[in-house]
Structure 1
Amino acid sequence: MSIRAVAAGAVVMVAAVAVSFSGQPWAHAEQGPPPRTLPSLKAWSPGGTGFSLGAHARVWYATEALRDTATDFAAALRSFTGNDVVAQEGSSGNPGDIALGTGSMPGAPEMPEAYRISIGETLDLRGADTAGAFYATSSALQLLRQRTTITGGTVIDWPQYRERGLMLDVGREFMPLDLLRAQIRRMGYLKLNLLHLHLSDTFGFRLESDRHPEITAAQHYSKQDIRDLVEYAARYQVEVMPEVDFPGHMNGILAAHPELKLRSADGRVSDAAIDIANPRAYDLMGDILDEFLPLFPGRYWHLGADEFLLDGTRVASFDEYSQLGEYARAAYGPQAQPVDAFLGLINWGADIVRAHGKRPRIWNDGLHTGAGTLTVGTDIVIDYWSKAGIPQLPLPFFGIARSPADLIAAGHDVRNASFTPAYYVAGGPTAAGNVPAPLAYQLWDPTLFVDGTRLTPDQNAHNLGSGLFVWCDDPTVRTPDQIAAAVTMPLRVTAQQTWGPPQAGSYLEFSALADAVGEPAA
């Protein structure tokens, strides 16, 4: 998804609508400064004997479910400290050893990602579940990388938001598997947990299709590639969420099916949009869903549903396509509006997603205030990126799209995918809207949406979180490696703001901390 026009003053606008992020004070902060990690820790109680990593330390893991986490943690400690650290099953240890386990987590909300670090002669890492145990190792690794001795005390930590993500636009710019794995390692190190892959767009459909081999791009991922990637991501507590965008942004699919392209009454043909009044369009889209939904074991499937009538740089009107109105009235009754053909398509796709045991998601811009006679299923998660809606000039800050608060009141969960500052666009005119990391750190948090509205605490309970959304509008501008390097600091800011307060001091302090914790082990 991208927009084709953007206000030159986008950064200024973000600053105008934003208010400063309000962190929460450290628990027991008056007793001493907390250990410093990225993202920062929720609660710290100093006291007792400090920990020093043993020259021949053991990482004792309590259950088989923690074996991989313990093994990876020990390998990373060897890499960063030079100490001879190995993983071993068991629950006892000598001074300088580390114990890894799971159990109850007093003082933290009941969630599997909560964890505790007890710092004494041994380092005790305990998660509410395996996810929390993994995040305990991420924090411990950052601490021991900075210094192999840690002041005595207790850390209790948990995320503010359920989703903390990275989206990669591999539909426009193919990204090699090694790069995807590197980003997964980076996500685990920063406690990010959702990798959203935008798998189909202008320049290709990136999945190997058995049912429709004609739509598969030359650069693509095999089904075994995806299985391996999903397994690799799970090791780092990262869920892979696929997106195949319907009914717009289908250039890579429609190049092989020009007969299904949307045609206006005056004969104009869209390369991006499929004709949802044509029954054969549903055959093709249904085949794609049925083939690939079983490939991804995660909880979600993203249907896209953005910018349906965006034709190049021109935004069309539903009234220009007489067949859409005819189809809507035939399918949904004489009172139906042309937009109901689009809303019905969303519900049709969502039914298929549910039948495969997953929860559907879409982008928000196709949901307009007062448009259509149909409503979309309230279990659909709405990724909120733009206020503009369609048909309208594609400027994301103003317009007729339903507000985040309205969608929540209707029963939806949302994710804050604000065009600014959650987007990073590599190439094209919309790259002018990229917000520098210092501004995002100082002025934004996931309660603040692109239209300038901020959710109340009650509303925010239905906000799953946010992420960094990396779009490759012009894939000739930067290589995948250059993109990965460019998003280093934005991704760190994303991790801090989605894990939640307190912040790690000023941006200069945050940047220095980021340098100190560095990148994860290869």
Structure 2
Amino acid sequence: MPANAEQPKPVTAAPESPDVIPTLENWEGDDRERHGGEFELTRRSRIIVDAGTDRALDDARRLVHEISAQTGRRLPVVPGSARARAGDIVLTLDTRRADPDDLGDEGYELEIDDVLRITGATETGVFYGTRTILQMLATDDALPMGRSVDVPEYAERGVGVCACYIHISMEWFERLMKDMSYLKLNQLWIEAKVKSDEYPETAFWGYYTKDEIRQLSEMAEKYHITLVPEINSPGHMDPYLENYPELQLEDRSGERQPSRLDITEDAAFDFLTGLIDEALQVWDAPYWHMGADEYMLGSEYANFPQILEYAQERFGPDATPQDAFVDFVNRINAHVQGQGKKLRIWNDGLAGENTVPLDPDIVVEHWDGRERILTPSELLDQGHRVMNASYALYLVRGGFMTDTQALYEQDWTPLVFENETLTEPHDDVTGAKITMWPDNGRGHTENEVEEQAFMPLRHIALATWGGPKPSETYAEFVALAEAIGRAPGWDDGDRQPLPEGTYALADAVTGDRLAPVAAEDGGHVVFASGSAATWDLLPTDDGYYRLRADGTELCMNITEGRRYLNVPLESGAPFTLTPCSTAADAKTQRWQVIDDGKGELRVVNAISQLPVARNGDGLAVQVPPDVQEPVVLSASG
């Protein structure tokens, strides 16, 4: 297919079409609506569930709370045998309409007259129909009469989050999933390290406990999201290989490479598959992503001659180093297939220099459009399903930010890849996703990333669902997005539970106060008996606090210990005092104060996501909460 072909300009939604994102594919207004006919909820309105599945009933009960949050009306849920009356919402599961030419797996039919009806062939289709009416209710209590059969154009409408090295909070993930579901985004790729019992030396902070992974899986099920977990391999493996030097690739000078797994060693394959097997015990997902990107980042195969020797021993004298790489990927593919999973990889390791073919059933996510890397059409010709994960869609903490306005104005679609624009739809282009990377992990806080992602999420939802553009101008699109807002209940918690003021922060058990060791740069923070120390609690614009030692210009910080992606993550590192600052490079002075509702608090660093604990010497230190119980503090003003 030719590259850089001009695409036809998308149709803009008709003026009478409801204001929702993504837009409805084919809204047909009712004649009665033109003469003032509207649907409104009343005191007698109900949610009638014409579906006998537990999941459908759970979704309906959640819809009760969501509608109540938006309108103040709490609707009862009744079974489908009830006769519908004006003002009712009827949710119908009709499995006969599962044909791809009808509603398929995710489409729904919306009919609004005196009764509002949503019909889907699956629970997910019905669920997406409820997202549409929630968005409509966000801007108007009276809904226009009409009908739409709304079916997504692309099967994969995704978001990626690299929780690699650093830990991203569970609360943030739930808010993300809730926002995704509001927009009918259905896939969440997460690169995250599961704390391993089999390989305990991989467990330095940045990991997720197995219980946390189970919670993420439960969240995804609740929000109709498919998870795609990843352990990046065989490159970028320093979070795992740091304490396993014997598995690190050795260069021609004999120097070990902590980020590179030695793909020529059986022990390395066994190590990786052991990690995968343990992770798959807790991830509830149909896919496994092995990364496979940037294996030679900053180097080249020539610096590792043993890879060529290995390839030629296995595949003959014409083999290339890339044959060893592709063979390694194929072996991982066979391994995860044995567990019923489909493998996904990034595209940049595929330069076409291999004689060993990559297994065609591997899904390739295309982000890198440099020369010598296979184009999307070449990958499609080889039989791969291809997802558009373009660099243009990236959100990098402290770095590159996607230009959503330009993409909207250019009428971007998932057919526009980094190095090629496909001229026509292809059944094996699965969709697209935005990806959030923490290259400079303290460049932004979680809350800032959340705000930065607001419009990119709405744009990718629009582009992948495939409905018409809601407006000619980006400014109008932003205004619509802000009017619709986020999902009801998106943030039920109070991020700043204490007002600005001066507080004594004391260990709730011992009464020892959190106190500065010395009023000088570099001083530490301790738990001191009999201390009269107090702290000024200073709210930040991004929803956190700074903790300033009263009477000084020094703020509590975390500056010591080993860093990963510019974040101090070493367990046991002491908290320090540094000059108070609101500058971008002082994000580690941000603190989350989590109120348990009983006047007791946990204080967590907003960047490291590690709570305050105390060591044997009384120093305030950061420690993963599953290793040592965080200190519960009492605050008094």
Report the equivalent of 1:404: 376
Of residues 435, 444, 452, the one that matches 1:486 is 452
When residues 246 and 21 of structure 1 are mapped into structure 2, their CA distance, relative to the original with a 3 A threshold, is farther
Greater helix content = 1
Specify the code of the residue in structure 1 equivalent to 2:315: Y
When residues 185 and 306 of structure 1 are mapped into structure 2, their CA distance, relative to the original with a 3 A threshold, is same
Give distance in 1, aligned partners of 2:74 and 2:26: 31
Identify the range of structure 1 (99-108 vs 88-97) with the bigger mean alpha-carbon deviation. 99-108
Report the equivalent of 2:395: 424
Report the equivalent of 1:293: 280
Q: Secondary structure at the match of 1:68?
A: helix
Of residues 358, 364, 369, the one that matches 1:382 is 364
1:104-146 deviations in Å (ceiling 9; x for gaps): 5599644111111111111111112111100000001111121
Specify the code of the residue in structure 2 equivalent to 1:102: L
Runs (4 or more) in structure 1 with deviation over 4 Å come to 16-21, 104-108
Report the equivalent of 2:467: 501
For 1:39-118, list aligned pairs within 5 A.
39-47=22-30, 48=32, 49-65=37-53, 66-91=56-81, 92-103=83-94, 109-118=102-111
Give distance in 1, aligned partners of 2:454 and 2:326: 37
For 1:222-237, list aligned pairs within 5 A.
222-237=209-224
Give distance in 1, aligned partners of 2:421 and 2:22: 23
Q: Secondary structure at the match of 1:218?
A: coil
When residues 21 and 54 of structure 1 are mapped into structure 2, their CA distance, relative to the original with a 3 A threshold, is farther
Report the equivalent of 1:211: 198
1:326-350 deviations in Å (ceiling 9; x for gaps): 1112222333212211111100100
Report the equivalent of 1:339: 322
Give distance in 2, aligned partners of 1:157 and 1:167: 25
Shift of 1:172: 3.4
1:39-98 deviations in Å (ceiling 9; x for gaps): 111011111442111134211111232101111111100001111223232343321111
For 1:48-197, list aligned pairs within 5 A.
48=32, 49-65=37-53, 66-91=56-81, 92-103=83-94, 109-197=102-190
Report the equivalent of 2:414: 446
Report the equivalent of 1:10: none
Give distance in 2, aligned partners of 1:402 and 1:436: 25
Q: Is the 8 A contact 1:21 1:445 kept in 2?
A: no
Q: Secondary structure at the match of 1:173?
A: coil
Q: Is the 8 A contact 1:381 1:413 kept in 2?
A: yes
Give distance in 1, aligned partners of 2:155 and 2:24: 16
Of residues 383, 386, 391, the one that matches 1:414 is 386
Q: CA RMSD in A?
A: 1.9
Specify the code of the residue in structure 2 equivalent to 1:317: E
Q: Secondary structure at the match of 1:169?
A: strand
Of residues 404, 409, 413, the one that matches 1:437 is 404
Report the equivalent of 2:259: 272
Specify the code of the residue in structure 2 equivalent to 1:123: L
Report the equivalent of 1:360: 343
Report the equivalent of 2:478: 511
Q: Is the 8 A contact 1:107 1:156 kept in 2?
A: no
Give distance in 2, aligned partners of 1:40 and 1:107: 20
The answer to whether 1:372 aligns with 2:344 is: no
Specify the code of the residue in structure 2 equivalent to 1:446: P
When residues 37 and 18 of structure 1 are mapped into structure 2, their CA distance, relative to the original with a 3 A threshold, is farther
Specify the code of the residue in structure 2 equivalent to 1:378: P
Q: Is the 8 A contact 1:20 1:442 kept in 2?
A: no
Question: TM-score when scaled to structure 1?
Answer: 0.87
The answer to whether 1:303 aligns with 2:275 is: no
Specify the code of the residue in structure 1 equivalent to 2:381: A
Identify the range of structure 1 (217-226 vs 511-520) with the bigger mean alpha-carbon deviation. 217-226
Q: Is the 8 A contact 1:108 1:114 kept in 2?
A: no
When residues 51 and 248 of structure 1 are mapped into structure 2, their CA distance, relative to the original with a 3 A threshold, is same
Give distance in 2, aligned partners of 1:363 and 1:141: 36
Shift of 1:229: 1.7
Of residues 426, 429, 439, the one that matches 1:463 is 429
Shift of 1:213: 1.7
1:252-296 deviations in Å (ceiling 9; x for gaps): 001121222212112343221111112221121121122222432
Specify the code of the residue in structure 2 equivalent to 1:93: A
Specify the code of the residue in structure 2 equivalent to 1:426: R
Report the equivalent of 2:617: none
When residues 197 and 268 of structure 1 are mapped into structure 2, their CA distance, relative to the original with a 3 A threshold, is same
Shift of 1:170: 0.2
| Bigger radius of gyration among the two | 2
Give distance in 1, aligned partners of 2:86 and 2:238: 61
Report the equivalent of 1:281: 268
When residues 108 and 339 of structure 1 are mapped into structure 2, their CA distance, relative to the original with a 3 A threshold, is closer
1:220-254 deviations in Å (ceiling 9; x for gaps): 22222212221221121101110111100101001
Report the equivalent of 2:249: 262
Q: Is the 8 A contact 1:51 1:151 kept in 2?
A: yes
Identify the range of structure 1 (321-330 vs 55-64) with the bigger mean alpha-carbon deviation. 55-64
Give distance in 2, aligned partners of 1:493 and 1:19: 20
Specify the code of the residue in structure 1 equivalent to 2:349: G
Shift of 1:455: 1.5
Aligned residues: 475
Unpaired segments of 5 or more residues in structure 2? 490-637
Identify the range of structure 1 (142-151 vs 99-108) with the bigger mean alpha-carbon deviation. 99-108
Q: Is the 8 A contact 2:167 2:208 kept in 1?
A: no
Specify the code of the residue in structure 2 equivalent to 1:449: F
Q: Is the 8 A contact 1:294 1:356 kept in 2?
A: no
Give distance in 2, aligned partners of 1:147 and 1:406: 48
Q: Is the 8 A contact 2:46 2:75 kept in 1?
A: yes
1:469-497 deviations in Å (ceiling 9; x for gaps): 00110101112222112111111111111
Shift of 1:21: 6.7
Question: TM-score when scaled to structure 2?
Answer: 0.72
Give distance in 2, aligned partners of 1:504 and 1:19: 21
Q: Is the 8 A contact 1:264 1:320 kept in 2?
A: yes
